């Protein structure tokens, strides 16, 4: 069964500083990987996804993530954090099943990001 580990429950950074959120996954095949963001009282918004190809993927809001198969990791990065980035971030792995063109997402526990002005 697939699983996702986000080792950091809570991270605090200063505005303008760089950010890296860690994600490790366990999955038997080539993983489909996602990062979602959840602002307080809001739903989940997709930041970026990896299906195949270039292992460095660009997302919305200036985020990027790098897939490293050898380390089973998919860390999220941003070079300069803005106060509006304060939210909870979820890494997920998607397991495809045939016939439906769709998949089931397994989420990590999330990392809460606080930004100091």
Residue 111 binds another protein (CB under 8 A): no
Residue (31 or 81) nearer to another protein, CB: 31
Q: Give the pair of three-digit tokens for residue 77.
A: 């990065």
β-strand pairing of 87-97 with 64-68: unpaired
Give the span between the Cα atoms of 68 and 49, in whole angstroms.
14
Q: 3-state DSSP call for residue 30?
A: coil
Residue 1 binds another protein (CB under 8 A): no
- Candidates 36, 63, 74, 89; binder of another protein (CB under 8 A) is 36
- Candidates 17, 46, 56, 60; binder of another protein (CB under 8 A) is 46
Minimum distance from residue 32 beta carbon to another protein (Å): 9
Give the span between the Cα atoms of 37 and 102, in whole angstroms.
21
Minimum distance from residue 68 beta carbon to another protein (Å): 20
Residue 102 binds another protein (CB under 8 A): yes
Phi and psi torsions of 5, nearest 5°:
-120, 125
* HSE, side-chain direction, 13 A CA sphere, residue 102: 2
Minimum distance from residue 117 beta carbon to another protein (Å): 28
Binding site for another protein (CB under 8 A): 34, 36, 42-46, 49, 51-52, 90, 92, 97, 99-110
């Amino acid at each position: 069964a697939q699983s996702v580990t986000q080792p950091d429950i809570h991270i605090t950074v200063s505005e303008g500083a760089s950010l890296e959120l860690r994600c490790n996954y366990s999955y038997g095949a080539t993983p489909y990987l996602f990062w979602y963001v959840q602002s307080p009282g809001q739903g989940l918004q997709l930041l970026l996804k990896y299906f195949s190809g270039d292992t460095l993927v660009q997302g919305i809001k200036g985020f990027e993530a790098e897939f490293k198969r050898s380390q089973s990791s998919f860390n999220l990065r941003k070079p300069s954090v803005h106060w509006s980035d304060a939210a909870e971030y979820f890494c997920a792995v998607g397991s495809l099943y045939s016939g439906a063109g769709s998949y089931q997402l397994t989420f990590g526990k999330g990392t809460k990001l606080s930004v100091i002005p």
